[in-house]
Amino acid sequence: MGNLNRGSTASYDLKGKSQAQADSLQSVRTIAAGIGLVGSAAYFLMLVGERPKLGLWVAALAAVALMGVLIYKKVRQHKDQGKHIPYDQVRSHQVGRFGAWLKHENLGHPNQIGQLTEALDRDLRLAGPGKVLGVYLVAGPSGTGKTHLSKLLGQALFGPTKVIEIDFKNLHPTVFATKFNEMIIAVNQNPTQLIILENVGSMDEAMLEPFLEILKTGQWVREVAPLKTSFSACAFICTCTTDLPAEMASEILSDQHEAKIRKWFDQMQYVDSRLLSFCSEFIVWGNLAALELAEVTCRTLEAYWKSHGIDLDYVAPNAVLSILKEARDQPQLGLHPIPQIIRKKSAQGLERALLLKAKRVALDLGENALLVPGNFNQVRKRSVS
């Protein structure tokens, strides 16, 4: 594989092969078309005209003009894409006004969400070239909403656009190179982005190095057009998984001394200290409480059945407890198994409800711990208590 720019020692090819090939092919076509035009003009003047020397002069001038166009194009490629970034518009964003919505959509972490939105609003007001918008570390147990909150923040920041997401857990070098190049292309197309770096504790040196360069300079320089990609309107949210008890998370958050928090992260070796040095805010939380787990399960159930055109008016408490009990068999995954468990437990009942063309149902727990729909199209009050 090729090396990174700036004399890097990393072994991953992050030059964007497909884009480079397209640029090279386009350059060849441009040159060929120019040479053909110059040759045709000179040939015409030399054969048809009575002044063949004039044809040679025209051909020479056309060649010089072609070279000028190519040089101008190269100079344009060197210019920083950041000059087109609407910094005034970025500075006018206010994530804090979405605070209530964020807390409703991501249960269990109201204080941490408030802390993160305040940090984002602070950094947005300082948006400018030569640096990224901000870098924020969100740490907590697996399946407690770190990535979910990050995606919601992407909507609050830049509207319903797709965020850029790279998960470094068990990430193969070839896949990383592909994802990195896709990130470059996406930022070139739309410079205002939220970039989620998941499981940053799993980054190896070659994966970490290009991001340290971006966070340091606010841009990425490569060997093919466009040579400079500005990240000065991009915010980075880094997530890492910790087995942190809720009481310890609260203790860390209650200590507002930033140096102590950084030292704690460094000692635990969850994240490389060089990446930590760029983080402007640290968000730490523990596991969700029992009622919060039940509410998340109910919301997931409702969303799944709603995606099939059926509203849930009631969910029996024992049905919710059955789902949570099965999820607890994989405690290291947190809430991640719940959607799959819901799909499995709902399969037969959903098929029956669809066959009966039901629009509203109530869910109870049936035989073999499967979810059984009843009270078709009769409104009942939803309950999880």
State the 10-residue block means of pLDDT for the chain, 385 residues long: 37 47 51 61 58 60 64 50 75 92 90 92 92 92 89 90 90 93 92 94 92 94 77 94 65 59 68 88 84 90 93 90 86 81 92 90 88 70 46
State the pLDDT at residue 22.
44
How far, in Å, CA of 281 to CA of 276, rounded?
10
State the pLDDT at residue 142.
85
State the pLDDT at residue 5.
37
State the pLDDT at residue 382.
47
- DSSP-derived letter for residue 369 is G
State the pLDDT at residue 3.
37
State the pLDDT at residue 277.
87
State the pLDDT at residue 158.
87
The CA–CA distances, whole Å, from 324 to 140, 242, 244, 321, 337 equal 19, 21, 20, 5, 9
State the pLDDT at residue 378.
59
State the pLDDT at residue 51.
57
Nearest to 282 by CA among 244, 230, 225, 328: 244
